[in-house]
Amino acid sequence: MQKIKYKINNTYNKLNNSIIAYFIMGAVLGIIAFCGIYGVKVLNFTNVDWLMSAGDLTQHYIGWEFFRDSPWSFPIGMSNNYAYPIGVAIPYTDSIPLFALLFKLIEGILPQRFQYFGLWGIMCFALQGGIAAIIFKKYINNIMLVLVSTSFIIINPIMLRRMFNHTALASHFIILIALAIWVYKEKFTTAKSKVLVWTSVNIVAILIHPYFVPMTMTIMLGFIIDDFINFKKVKDGIMAIVTSIASIAVVFWIIGGFTGESAEAIGLGDFSMNINALFNPIGWSKFLTKDLPLAKFEQYEGFQYLGLGIIILIPICLILFIIRNRSNIKSIFTANSIKRFIEKYTPFFVVFIILFFMAVSNIITINSHVIFEYKFPKYVEIIFNIFRSTGRLFWPVTYIIIFALIIYTITRFKSKKSILAIMILLLVIQTADLSHKLIERRNYYNSDVKFDYILKSEFWDGVGENFEHIMLIPTYTNTYSHMSRLATDYNMTLNIGSFARGPDKQIGKIAAVTVGELKSGKSSDDTAYIIQSYNILEDIMRNSPKDMYTAVNIIGNVDNFFVLYSNKDFSIDKYKDDIEAYSSKDFVNINFENYIDELSELDDNIAIMISKKGGSLEAITKKELEQLKELGVKSDLSKISGKNYSSVILPRNSNNTVEKVESNNVEINMKPGKDLGGNILQRTIVLRSGEIKSEAYSNLLFNNVQYSMNREGLNIVVYDIKNDKVKNIASFKLKDNNEGNLMRCK
């Protein structure tokens, strides 16, 4: 028995003294947490549907797909087939350049559809746990306490909120690596080791996401100041800084980081951190159900919520501090004590001050109040505009606070059993506080998420086999995920995409030039043009040479996309049942009163979708108002000047009219399966009316395809619900006269 006990104790002591063992245990804990929250379906390399159906994730995955298909060139991070013909660099699709470059090296053996984002996610959790365990080991000499403490870091809200939302920004392990280097500073005493380790960390940071660079660089500065205070070494720190900056610049250049139009982005101060950030759950607490107010909506980017378990540690630490120092409380505030405290913690204060003022940027706010606002010098503003979502930059300080609270609490308790019980209880509270978000993620990522690919016709396979380029005009990105799948499946180029700071202006200018060419009858045989604006479609049809696009060229509606092409070798006979051909005769001028008369004669299956763009609608007559009222319009449209308006009218079921009139932006959102007057909706339909940056807009989106003419006044779509067909599209300015434009759909 004694021998067994001896062996157990001996094994425990070996584990307790091994950094590698702590790393492995922490990493295993991270992997278990990941699988418990996200499941294993996301780890399937060929499962991409969950990425194609999820906002930013779609941007990241599509960026990788185009990059893998693009031939190697310099800079090596360029996708020349995406944002064609300009091209876009992999950093601007947030596709995690580090993994994108690694997997492109073996692209030839990868399956047609391949994703590494699930692998990156589980790796983030493993490294988060492993590195956190190493940091805690430095101060806590107990395996169980280290593992419980590590669990707080693994299920940290600020990382969980980013995972599979903005996956690259969930790579918080790079912050922990930088902190671990600082914690174990005694292992990096030579100039060579300091330069090597910090340069490596900063290179990895830029290969993950540029936002991590100011964080790791600031932590490095804290390390250097600490090194100077303790060892009076200046040269080593300068070498580390210079080498890191040079390496970051070179690596960013190599991967194409300097190819974007401009590194500046509007919104400085909007995406900042509110001073209440550490205690503001913004929907992430099950118990603190009332969120604290924000001065700006965009301050969600400054999310730093600690979690209820960690928040409870704050008063516990204060009580422990008072108990520990109650007999000599006065000596703590002597000049010598304060001096020693400042000297000891100066590096941390520097890191805190730098990251705090970077995070709050030029607007200091608490709750909904702006405390102080100042203007940066122009050169500083340019730098800050590069990192406009400054609220993120406080993450390292949040981690330092969590580590400090946990370590201080544990090291002040003599009874390991008592503090272990307390920490487990706090971990249970922390987990329970976040449980609704954890369950939400588990349910979603363990479900069978399917991408609803809307290009149903075999016609699109013909496009893929006969054309080299897809060009969407104008460069709306509502449906880019569907066109991207077509393009990547057939190794075609695509002119649009979703980019962080891509060549959007250049792409827009090229599209505008192309419209002029199409109007004059010029089109490329190797390009399929997707016309996404009814204004442009009408302009081309009315102004191009007579019958140009019904004789030599083809224009038609396929799966609710208007396609124009001039490849004479592409026979459409086999697809003729899928194509609705159009000519200039389908675009007519019409009086509003006559149009309403037509609407009055429609059958029971019809819904009339209306969205207003700016305008005062002064020209509406009393007769027309009466006609609209009979159709089911409840508001007096002549009196909604300065307001936004959207409605869904069912002429034969006017009691079911859905109508919104507000000074603010309005939106009506209807999902498939909704009962509209006895007919079941088959598409997602979104109506919007409002203003963005002083520019009015009108949206009538059917499965993300824009049907609104988006012209001043009323934009109207008549939709056959039962047969899932758009009957006609119209717009009426109704300011000076009652004339408008109508497109009759086939």
- The three-state DSSP-derived secondary structure of 24-42 is HHHHHHHHHHHHHHHCCHH
Q: How many angstroms separate the CA atoms of 491 and 112, rounded?
A: 11
Q: How many angstroms separate the CA atoms of 95 and 84, rounded?
A: 18
16 pLDDT more than 70: no
CA-based nearest residue to 116, from 42, 66, 171, 54: 42
- Residue 1's pLDDT band (cuts 50, 70, 90): low
> What per-residue confidence (pLDDT) applies to 11?
56
Q: In angstroms, what CA-CA distances link 473 with 361, 437, 513, 564, 625?
A: 38, 39, 10, 11, 36
Per-position DSSP letters for 368-384, written without gaps between them: TEEEEE----HHHHHHH
The count of C-alpha atoms lying within 13 angstroms of the C-alpha of 677, restricted to the half-sphere facing its C-beta, is 21
Least confident of 64-73, 403-412, 481-490, 500-509: 500-509
Secondary structure class of 78 (helix, strand, coil): strand
Taking all residues of the chain, what is their mean pLDDT, rounded to a whole number? 89
Q: Which residue has the higher pLDDT, 69 or 584?
A: 69
- Residue 14's pLDDT band (cuts 50, 70, 90): low
- Is the bond preceding 474 in cis, omega lying within 30 degrees of 0? yes
- Residue 547's pLDDT band (cuts 50, 70, 90): low
- Residue 577's pLDDT band (cuts 50, 70, 90): confident
The terminus-to-terminus CA distance of the chain in angstroms comes to 88
In this prediction, residues 494-522 reach a mean pLDDT of 88
Strands 739-744 and 725-732: antiparallel
Which of 77-81, 589-593, 650-654 ranks highest by mean pLDDT?
Answer: 77-81
> What per-residue confidence (pLDDT) applies to 5?
59
- From the number of C-beta atoms within 10 Å of its C-beta (0-12, 13-18, 19+), residue 252 rates as buried
Task: Give me 170's structure tokens.
Answer: 């969930």
Residues of the chain with pLDDT > 90: what percent? 56
Domain ranges of the chain: 44-119, 261-412, 459-585, 587-744
278 pLDDT more than 50: yes
Task: Give me 221's structure tokens.
Answer: 């500065």
CA-based nearest residue to 72, from 57, 90, 59, 85: 90
> What per-residue confidence (pLDDT) applies to 535?
79
> What per-residue confidence (pLDDT) applies to 550?
47
> What per-residue confidence (pLDDT) applies to 475?
86
> What per-residue confidence (pLDDT) applies to 541?
78
83 secondary structure, DSSP code = S
> What per-residue confidence (pLDDT) applies to 270?
84
Which of 129-133, 254-258, 546-550, 593-597 ranks highest by mean pLDDT?
Answer: 129-133
> What per-residue confidence (pLDDT) applies to 660?
92
The CA angle 405-440-209, to the nearest 5 degrees, is 60
- Residue 573's pLDDT band (cuts 50, 70, 90): confident
Q: How many angstroms separate the CA atoms of 32 and 108, rounded?
A: 32
Per-position DSSP letters for 266-308, written without gaps between them: S-TTTT---TTGGG--TT--SS--SPPP-SSGGGGGG-----H
735 pLDDT more than 90: no
171 pLDDT more than 50: yes
CA-based nearest residue to 437, from 271, 281, 311: 281
Q: Which residue has the tokens 């060579």?
A: 192
Q: How many angstroms separate the CA atoms of 746 and 730, rounded?
A: 14
- Residue 692's pLDDT band (cuts 50, 70, 90): confident
679 pLDDT more than 70: yes
Summarised one tens digit per residue, pLDDT across range 288-304 is 989 999 998 889 999 99
The CA angle 591-593-598, to the nearest 5 degrees, is 95
CB 19 within 8 A of CB 137: yes
Least confident of 258-267, 441-450, 608-617: 258-267
- Residue 74's pLDDT band (cuts 50, 70, 90): very high
Note the pTM of the prediction, 2 decimals: 0.87
> What per-residue confidence (pLDDT) applies to 551?
39
Q: How many CB atoms lie within 10 A of CB 136?
A: 25
Strands 705-706 and 580-581: unpaired
Which of 325-329, 351-355, 740-744 ranks highest by mean pLDDT?
Answer: 351-355
In this prediction, residues 709-723 reach a mean pLDDT of 89
DSSP E strands, 543-582 = 554-558, 561-565, 580-581
- Residue 9's pLDDT band (cuts 50, 70, 90): low
Q: In angstroms, what CA-CA distances link 746 with 97, 179, 557, 721, 743?
A: 46, 64, 9, 15, 10
In this prediction, residues 163-181 reach a mean pLDDT of 97
In this prediction, residues 82-87 reach a mean pLDDT of 93
The count of C-alpha atoms lying within 13 angstroms of the C-alpha of 291, restricted to the half-sphere facing its C-beta, is 16
In this prediction, residues 722-728 reach a mean pLDDT of 87
> What per-residue confidence (pLDDT) applies to 8?
57
Sheet holding 705-706, edge to edge: 666-670, 685-692, 695-702, 705-706
Which of 15-24, 480-489, 596-605 ranks highest by mean pLDDT?
Answer: 480-489
In this prediction, residues 147-162 reach a mean pLDDT of 97
Summarised one tens digit per residue, pLDDT across range 346-389 is 999 999 999 999 999 888 999 999 998 888 777 777 777 778 88
Strands 469-473 and 527-531: parallel
Q: Which helix (H) or strand (E) holds 440?
A: helix 416-445
Q: In angstroms, what CA-CA distances link 656 with 608, 647, 650, 677?
A: 12, 11, 7, 7
Per-position DSSP letters for 329-390, written without gaps between them: HHHHTSHHHHHHHHHHHHHHHHHHHHHHHHHHTTEEEETTEEEEE----HHHHHHHHHT--G
93 pLDDT more than 60: yes
> What per-residue confidence (pLDDT) applies to 552?
42
Summarised one tens digit per residue, pLDDT across range 455-497 is 988 889 999 999 999 999 988 777 889 999 999 999 999 999 8
15 pLDDT more than 70: no
- Residue 240's pLDDT band (cuts 50, 70, 90): very high
Q: How many CB atoms lie within 10 A of CB 307?
A: 26
> What per-residue confidence (pLDDT) applies to 96?
97
> What per-residue confidence (pLDDT) applies to 318?
92
